[in-house]
Structure 1
C-alpha cells in the first residue's frame, strides 16, 4: 500500500508530513519506556524482518497481490511506540533507496502504514487480551485478529486522505468499497504472517514479546491444602537467557536475509491492492515519477546486474542490512537516552549500598 507521488495534492501531503513527523516524535519519546540496551537490537531486527517480508507479495484475488504492512507485528513484538518507529524506518529506507513509495507522500505512508495500523492493531490486541484467558495462545489469537483488522483500517485511512486531497475527481464511495474490500483479503495474509511470527517468538522467548509481558501467572503449589506462590527461579538461569537472546537475533537475521535474498524472487508479480484499485478507478491518472527512480537499487534490483534473480537477491540483502543498521542505531540511541536521566540516582543508590 505504498502511496506514490501524485496521488495526493501538495497541501495535504505537506500537512500529513507534519502530522507524521509529530507521530514519530511521540514514538521516539514513548519508545524510551519500551526499550533498553538489550531490546534495542531486537527492535532493529523487527524493522529488518518487516522490510524482508514486505518484499513477498502474495496473491489474494484475480490479478491482485498483497504484502505485509507490519504495524501489528511490530507493535506486539516490541511495543506500539517502538513499532511505529520500526515501520517509519522501513518506509524511509524503501522510499530513499528503492523508489518504493513517493518521497512527497512519505507522510501519508507513515500515517497510513505506520500510525493507523499500529494504533488500531495494538488497541484491539490489548482489548482482546482483557477478554481472553491469560495464556500464550491468547496472545497468538489476539495477534491474528488485530493484524486482520489493521489492514482494512489502513485502507480506510488512505481513502479518507484521498477524499480530502486526491488529485483526481472520483466517487469516493467506490474507492472506499474497492480499497476496503481487497485489503480485507490482504488482511488475512497479514494475520497469518503475524500470528505465526508472534507464536514462533513466544515459543522460544516469551519474555521478549512486549505484548505477552505480565500474562504469565505465578506458579502455584499446594501446601497443606492451600495454594501458595512457588519460589522464584534461581538467578543462575540468566546467562542461558543471554545466549538464547543472541541466538534469537541471529536466527531472525538469517531468516530475513533468506526471505529477502532468495524467497522474494518467487513473490507474486501482480499489482498490490492499492495499485490495482488505482488503475481500475483512475486514481493513478496524475501519478508522478519517483525522485529516486535512478537509484542504484530502484525497484528492488541492483543497477547493472543483468541476472534478475541475482539483482533482486542482492537488493534484498542490502535492504535488510541497511534497515537493521539504521534501525538498531536509532533504537540504541533511544535506549541510551532513557538510561541517562536515571544515572545520577542509580549512582547515588550504589554509593549508599556500598
Structure 2
C-alpha cells in the first residue's frame, strides 16, 4: 500500500510529514529502552526481512494482490518503538532507491504503514497477551494484531484522502472498498506474521520482544510462582540465528521474488476502480533499480538482494547507534 506522489495535496503531505518526523523522533528515544545486545542486530534483520517479504505480492482476489506491511510483525519481534524505525527505514530505502512510494508521500507512508500499523497492531497484541500467556497465545495474538492492522491502515488512508486528496471521493464507498480488500490482505499478513513469530519462538524465544513476560508461570504447591526464568533468558551467541535469518531473507528476496504476483496491490486496484488513481511519475523512475530492476533490466532477485543489503546496513546502523548511546549513559 505504497502511496505514490500526486495523491495528496500540499497540506496533507506536509502535515503527515511533520507527524511522521515527530513519530520517528519519539521512537528514536523510545528505542533506546528496547535495544540491547540482542535486539540491536535483530532490528537490522527484521527491517531487511520486511523489505524482502514486501516484494512477495500474493493474490487476493481476481486481478488484485497484497503484500506484507510489517508493522505488527516488527513491533512484536523488536518492540513498538524500534518497529516503527524498522518500517521507516524500509520505506526510505524503497522510496529513494526503488521508486516505490512517492517522495512527497513519504510522510503519508510512514504514518500509515509505520505509525498506524504499529499502534493498532501492538495495542491489540498487548491486549490479547494480557488475557492469555505462553507461546500459543503470543502466536494467536500476532495473527490477530497483524490482520487488523492492515484494514486499519487502509481506513486511515481513506480518511486522509477524503481530507486532502487531489480528487474528490465518495468516502463511504471508498472506505468499504479499501477496508474490504485490505481485510483479505490482512489475512495474508496475519498468516505471515504468525508463522514468522512462531518460527523465532521455536528457536530463540529470548529474541522475541513481545514474549518477554509471557512465558508460562510456574505452579508450586498449587500456587502460581514467577515466570519460568529459562524461557526468556539469553541463550548464548545469537550469531548463528541471525546468519540463518539473513540467509532466509536473501532467498526470499533473491529467488522467491521471481514468483511474486504481478497484479496491482489493494490500493492500486481500488484507486483505478474508484477513479482516484492520480499518481504521478516518481522523481527516480528512471533509475536502474526503479520498480525493483524492471526499468534498468536488472533481475528482480538481484535488485532484491541489493535492497536487503541497504536496509540491513541502515537499520542495523541506526539500531547500533541507539544501543551504544544507551550503553554509554548507563
TM-score, with length taken from structure 1: 0.89
What aligned pairs does 1:313-328 form with structure 2 within 5 A after superposition? Answer: 313-328=301-316
How far apart are 1:92 and its partner, in Å? 0.2
Q: Given the superposition, is the C-alpha separation of residues 101 and 232 from structure 1 closer, same or farther in structure 2, using an over 3 Å criterion?
A: closer
How far apart are 1:339 and its partner, in Å? 1.5
1:292 pairs with 276, 284, 287, which one? Answer: 284
2:245 pairs with 243, 252, 267, which one? Answer: 252
How far apart are 1:38 and its partner, in Å? 2.9
What aligned pairs does 1:119-134 form with structure 2 within 5 A after superposition? Answer: 119-132=119-132, 134=133
Q: Given the superposition, is the C-alpha separation of residues 168 and 216 from structure 1 closer, same or farther in structure 2, using an over 3 Å criterion?
A: same
In structure 2, distance between residues paired with 1:213 and 1:304: 45
Q: Given the superposition, is the C-alpha separation of residues 135 and 287 from structure 1 closer, same or farther in structure 2, using an over 3 Å criterion?
A: same
How far apart are 1:46 and its partner, in Å? 0.1
Alpha-carbon contact 2:216-2:227 (below 8 Å) kept = no
SS in 2 for 1:242: coil
| 1:194-220 Cα shifts (integer Å, max 9, x gaps) | 000000000111111010001124545
How far apart are 1:242 and its partner, in Å? 2.6
In structure 2, distance between residues paired with 1:106 and 1:228: 48
Quote the residue 2:93 is aligned against: 93
What aligned pairs does 1:149-228 form with structure 2 within 5 A after superposition? Answer: 149-220=148-219
In structure 1, distance between residues paired with 2:102 and 2:196: 29
Quote the residue 1:242 is aligned against: 236
In structure 1, distance between residues paired with 2:60 and 2:100: 21
- Gap regions ≥5 residues in structure 2: none
How far apart are 1:172 and its partner, in Å? 1.2
- Taking only aligned residues, the RMSD between alpha carbons, in angstroms, comes to 1.9
Alpha-carbon contact 2:24-2:85 (below 8 Å) kept = yes
Alpha-carbon contact 2:217-2:225 (below 8 Å) kept = no
Quote the residue 2:19 is aligned against: 19
In structure 1, distance between residues paired with 2:303 and 2:225: 56
Q: Given the superposition, is the C-alpha separation of residues 218 and 97 from structure 1 closer, same or farther in structure 2, using an over 3 Å criterion?
A: same
Check if 1:58 corresponds to 2:58. Answer: yes
Alpha-carbon contact 2:287-2:296 (below 8 Å) kept = no
| 1:247-282 Cα shifts (integer Å, max 9, x gaps) | 110111011100000101100000000000011111
Quote the residue 2:275 is aligned against: 282
In structure 2, distance between residues paired with 1:3 and 1:232: 45
How far apart are 1:100 and its partner, in Å? 0.1
Q: Given the superposition, is the C-alpha separation of residues 231 and 31 from structure 1 closer, same or farther in structure 2, using an over 3 Å criterion?
A: closer
| 1:312-331 Cα shifts (integer Å, max 9, x gaps) | 11000000011001110000
SS in 1 for 2:236: helix
| 1:61-104 Cα shifts (integer Å, max 9, x gaps) | 01000000000100000000000000000000000000000000
Q: Given the superposition, is the C-alpha separation of residues 61 and 221 from structure 1 closer, same or farther in structure 2, using an over 3 Å criterion?
A: same
Check if 1:4 corresponds to 2:4. Answer: yes
SS in 1 for 2:23: helix
TM-score, with length taken from structure 2: 0.95
How far apart are 1:171 and its partner, in Å? 1.0
SS in 1 for 2:8: coil
| Residues matched between the structures, number | 328
In structure 1, distance between residues paired with 2:192 and 2:228: 37
Check if 1:31 corresponds to 2:26. Answer: no
In structure 1, distance between residues paired with 2:270 and 2:228: 58
In structure 2, distance between residues paired with 1:232 and 1:187: 34
In structure 1, distance between residues paired with 2:223 and 2:281: 71
- The structure number with the bigger radius of gyration is 1
